[in-house]
């Protein structure tokens, strides 16, 4: 990253804060979490320990608390010399703690920030004085201009290239259909297959499900999460003719829902398949893009003093084929994606608001440039601290999060969500503009739609390599697209955090060998 010494901060303030120092925002212009001035002590510091160069990261926490990482070098894994806890005092912060590695291991440290100066003392096998000053370290690719062959997706003027993210239009709200908490319900439908063969039954559920096909149990899961469409991908053997699906869905409290799709094993579309009640009401699976949209529901079923999870192993009438009352779940109207509703701020940026957005155009292999800024949320922790994401091909997420100063994990900024942690945590302090450069190569399939190569990603975060041609074997959590072999949109996620984005563009790449 490019380093700017503190006396130059006034010259760089507009670049770092996106023009907030001079911008006159309208009341609806952006989140107060983005407009509030940053903590005066939070951020990067640089200086010396005796004659040795050191750096520091100061992280603002809730209740006037702070944490500081003392580093042998920035942008390098395993460089932490000490992690100190601190508390705000009049005019600064006081830190204390012990060293954790290198020459500082087991040393005692006392460090104070007063104004724009950090001083301290190390007492141990190697003693010495600390003196550091604040620095602002910017990504070298901030404001990078798109090349001539780039597709500019957002330049600060409009959202014409974007639409509201496609959602699963066939999700069933069981709570609305049958009501209650700590209950179970059953869903059933029939699928006509023109011939015997394997398929993929992909479903999402809250809070748990058990699935039977033609009377045989094929899958069961309990999880405490909202419905993530197609999260569970189950290979199934279909018979020629009509196949009976029965699903038991249990609920503890809160959400209670289910959605499902039926496609080829690689999630490719199936031809000649129908869904519904034989000789009564059916529709073509292709007409609904593989969504299993017709279900009957029976329930709710309860047992006194037992939770929904407890009911997973309690067999009710539909499991035995006994008499049960069934009602058709009304077939929903298929919604269009709709317009993107993020706020254009007037400073070249847009703010996450009102749902995730995706590009209208769909892509395959590509290089992507994205600039983003996380909000200042010291009272929040973990995934609630400025959460968003960049989804490649609407399937694979590179995480956006305020994980400044944390040990890098796959759920932190620059991580491929639930797949690969970044090689080094390059997250800048909140309210500072950051960059991703992402090179994405889609998964490859043979002529029979068998996957022969995983998707791969290379990611530079603030100019530093954090993902090196990493294979991504499956869509990451939060992906709603199911057909893995088809091109799809670039998606920016709304995960409730008021993140800002700007200067978004990509260059399409030819297939390897061309």
Q: CA 69, 72, 73 angle in degrees (round to 5)?
A: 95
pLDDT in tens, 212-233: 999 999 999 988 666 777 788 8
* Mean pLDDT calculated for residue range 99-127: 95
Residues 459 and 361 in one domain: yes
Q: 345 to each of 23, 79, 369, how far by Cα in Å? A: 10, 38, 20
Question: Is the model's pLDDT at 434 over the cut of 60?
Answer: yes
92 within domain boundaries: yes
Number of domains in the chain: 3
pLDDT in tens, 288-332: 888 898 899 999 999 998 988 899 999 999 998 888 999 998 765
pLDDT level of residue 21 (50, 70, 90 thresholds):
very low
Residues 159 and 118 in one domain: no
Residues 234 and 321 in one domain: yes
pLDDT in tens, 132-163: 999 999 999 999 999 999 999 999 999 999 99
Of 328, 352, 377, at which residue does a domain stop?
Answer: 328
Residues 377 and 480 in one domain: yes
348: CATH: 2.60.120.560
Q: CA 471, 475, 480 angle in degrees (round to 5)?
A: 160
Buried b (16+ CB within 10 A) or exposed e, 181-209: ebbbbbbbbbbbbeeeeebbbbbbbbbbb
315 within domain boundaries: yes
Residues 66 and 176 in one domain: no
Distance CA 232, CA 454 (A): 19
pLDDT confidence of residue 6: 43
Enter the DSSP assignment of 359. E
Question: Is the model's pLDDT at 29 over the cut of 70?
Answer: no
Q: Identify the burial level of 400 via C-beta atoms within 10 angstroms of its C-beta, where 0-12 means exposed, 13-18 middle and 19 or more buried.
A: buried
54: containing domain: 38-138
pLDDT level of residue 496 (50, 70, 90 thresholds):
confident
The DSSP secondary structure of 150-171, one letter per residue, reads: -EEEESSS--TTEEEPP--TT-
258 within domain boundaries: yes
408 within domain boundaries: yes
pLDDT level of residue 187 (50, 70, 90 thresholds):
very high
Task: Tell me the backbone φ, ψ of residue 196, rounded to 5 degrees.
Answer: -70, 150
pLDDT in tens, 56-96: 999 999 999 999 999 999 999 989 999 999 999 999 999 99
pLDDT confidence of residue 223: 80
The DSSP secondary structure of 416-434, one letter per residue, reads: BTTTB--SS--PPPTTS-E
Mean pLDDT of the chain: 88
458 within domain boundaries: yes
pLDDT confidence of residue 300: 94
Percent of the chain with pLDDT over 70: 90
pLDDT level of residue 483 (50, 70, 90 thresholds):
low
260 within domain boundaries: yes
Average the pLDDT over each of 29-33, 145-149, 159-163, 168-172 and give the range with the smallest value. 168-172
* Mean pLDDT calculated for residue range 98-118: 95
Of 328, 362, 381, at which residue does a domain stop?
Answer: 328
Residues 304 and 443 in one domain: no
Q: What is the pTM of this model?
A: 0.75
Residues 365 and 504 in one domain: yes
pLDDT in tens, 378-418: 888 877 789 999 999 999 999 999 999 988 889 999 999 98
pLDDT level of residue 480 (50, 70, 90 thresholds):
low
In the beta sheet, which residues pair with residue 456? 441, 471
pLDDT confidence of residue 503: 98
145 within domain boundaries: no
27 within domain boundaries: no
99: CATH: 2.40.128
pLDDT level of residue 19 (50, 70, 90 thresholds):
very low
Enter the DSSP assignment of 291. B
Q: 205 to each of 114, 174, 248, how far by Cα in Å? A: 52, 10, 10
CA atoms within 13 A on the CB side of 452: 6
pLDDT confidence of residue 23: 32
Residues 284 and 371 in one domain: no
- Say whether 35 sits in a helix, a strand or coil: helix
pLDDT confidence of residue 110: 98
Is-cis flag, bond preceding 152, omega within 30? no
Residues 465 and 320 in one domain: no
Residue 326 token pair: 């069934």
pLDDT confidence of residue 256: 87
Residues 253 and 357 in one domain: no
Distance CA 207, CA 175 (A): 12
More confident call, 180 vs 470: 470
Residues 121 and 193 in one domain: no
Residues 425 and 376 in one domain: yes
265: CATH: 2.60.120
Task: Tell me the backbone φ, ψ of residue 245, rounded to 5 degrees.
Answer: -105, 130
């Amino acid at each position: 990253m490019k380093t700017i010494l503190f006396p130059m901060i006034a010259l760089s303030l507009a670049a770092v804060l996106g023009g907030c120092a001079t911008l006159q925002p309208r009341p609806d212009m952006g989140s107060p979490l983005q407009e509030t001035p940053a903590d005066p002590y939070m951020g990067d510091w640089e200086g010396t320990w005796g004659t040795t160069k050191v750096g520091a990261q100061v992280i603002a926490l809730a209740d006037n608390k702070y944490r500081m990482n003392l580093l042998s070098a920035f942008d390098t894994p395993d460089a932490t010399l000490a992690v100190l806890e601190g508390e705000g005092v009049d005019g600064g912060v006081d830190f204390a703690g012990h060293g954790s590695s290198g020459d500082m291991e087991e040393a005692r440290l006392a460090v104070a920030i007063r104004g724009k100066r950090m001083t301290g003392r190390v007492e141990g096998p190697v003693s010495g004085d600390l003196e550091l000053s604040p620095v602002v370290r910017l990504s070298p690719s901030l404001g990078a201009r798109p090349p001539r062959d780039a597709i500019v997706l957002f330049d600060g003027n409009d959202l014409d290239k974007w639409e509201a993210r496609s959602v699963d239009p066939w999700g069933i709200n069981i709570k609305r259909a049958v009501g209650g908490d700590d209950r179970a319900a059953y869903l059933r439908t029939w699928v006509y297959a023109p011939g015997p063969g394997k398929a993929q039954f992909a479903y999402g559920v809250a809070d748990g499900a058990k699935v039977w096909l033609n009377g045989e149990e094929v899958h069961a899961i309990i999880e405490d999460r909202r419905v993530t469409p197609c999260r569970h991908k189950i290979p199934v053997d279909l018979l020629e003719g009509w196949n009976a699906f029965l699903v038991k869905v249990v609920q503890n409290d809160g959400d209670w829902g289910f959605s499902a799709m039926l496609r080829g094993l690689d999630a490719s579309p199936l031809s000649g398949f129908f869904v519904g009640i034989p000789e009564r009401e059916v529709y073509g699976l292709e007409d609904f893009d593989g969504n299993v949209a017709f279900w009957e529901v029976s329930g709710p079923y309860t047992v006194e003093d037992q939770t929904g999870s407890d009911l997973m192993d309690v067999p009710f009438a539909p499991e035995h084929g006994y008499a049960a009352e069934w009602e058709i779940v009304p077939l929903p109207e298929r919604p269009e994606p709709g317009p993107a509703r993020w706020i254009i701020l007037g400073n070249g940026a847009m703010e996450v608001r009102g749902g995730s957005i995706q590009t209208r155009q769909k892509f395959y292999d590509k290089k992507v440039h994205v600039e983003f800024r996380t909000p200042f949320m010291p009272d929040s922790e973990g995934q609630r601290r400025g959460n968003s994401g960049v989804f490649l091909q609407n399937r694979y997420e590179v995480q956006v999060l305020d994980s400044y100063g944390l040990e890098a994990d796959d759920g932190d900024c620059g991580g491929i969500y639930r797949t690969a942690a970044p090689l080094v945590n390059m997250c800048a302090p909140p309210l500072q503009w950051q960059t991703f450069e992402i090179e994405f190569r889609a998964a490859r399939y043979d002529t029979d739609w068998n996957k022969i190569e995983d998707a791969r990603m290379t990611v530079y975060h603030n100019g530093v390599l954090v993902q090196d041609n990493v294979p991504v074997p499956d869509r990451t959590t939060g992906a709603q697209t199911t057909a893995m072999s088809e091109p799809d949109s670039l998606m920016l996620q709304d995960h409730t955090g008021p993140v800002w984005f700007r200067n978004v563009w990509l260059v399409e790449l030819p297939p390897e060998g061309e």
